[in-house]
Amino acid sequence: MFSGIIEATGRVLSPVPSEGGLLTITGVPFASGLSTGESVAINGACMTVVSRERDRFSVDVSVETLRVTRMGEMVAGEEVNLERAMRLSDRLGGHLVLGHVDCLGVIEGRRTAGNTEFFSLFVPAPHHRYLIPKGSITVDGISLTVNAFADRPDRSGSLVELAIIPHTLAVTTLGHRGEGSCVHLELDLVGKYVDRFREIDGPSLEATHG
């Protein structure tokens, strides 16, 4: 479990083979404190540490992970967001994040107003159903607030507005993301459970209380 508060950034040492394999992240300030088997979110994807040394660590990337993320497209030197798994005693500064990427989104625009950067992000169907005004969304592992959104039936999804403060731009990879950038998305955990409960129990509940 994660909170979406990025601890540090690192850089990809070498690309992942198309059939899956090791991904090594270097330039990591907390690498020496990691243990084999520990979970680390890389751009919001929960991965298991299989080795570490000095300022770097490695994870195994499966074919399934390559299918649902853009890890297979990462290039050497690319910067990534990193977060270690939460302790039970930690403050929940962001929101509850599993580290399971639901889908890929696309940044469709970026504009500046005062000290804030406003991003326009396309969230594809059916995942856009979990969006609510001022709700939470995880973008490349970063806990962000949905400022506003508009459903786009013609495109099967929703266009979301995100307001990004200077601090977030400075300490995450968002500062380097522009129009056309593809990002990992994880939608709200609570909303998914509620949706599943309604899917299973909705008809029976309606019959009971009808």
The domain that contains 45 carries what CATH number?
2.40.30.20
Which of 84, 114, 137 is the endpoint of a domain?
Answer: 84
Ordered alpha helix ranges (H), the chain: 63-68, 166-171, 189-209
Domain-located, residue 93: no
Q: Which residues pair with 105 in a beta bridge?
A: 183
Same domain, 107 and 163: yes
Domain-located, residue 210: no
Same domain, 64 and 115: no
- Residue 203: predicted pLDDT: 59
Domain-located, residue 94: no
Q: Please identify which residue in the block is written with the tokens 């005062």.
A: 114
In this prediction, the residues of the chain whose per-residue pLDDT falls under 50 are 205, 207, 209
The answer to whether 5 and 138 are in contact (CB under 8 A) is no
Same domain, 66 and 116: no
Structural domain for 116, as ranges: 103-195
Same domain, 130 and 184: yes
- Residue 61: predicted pLDDT: 97
State how many domains the chain has. 2
Same domain, 123 and 41: no
Same domain, 107 and 182: yes
Same domain, 58 and 123: no
Domain-located, residue 91: no
Distances (CA, A) of 121 to 1, 5, 6, 59: 25, 20, 20, 29
Copy the structure tokens of residue 143: 């806990």
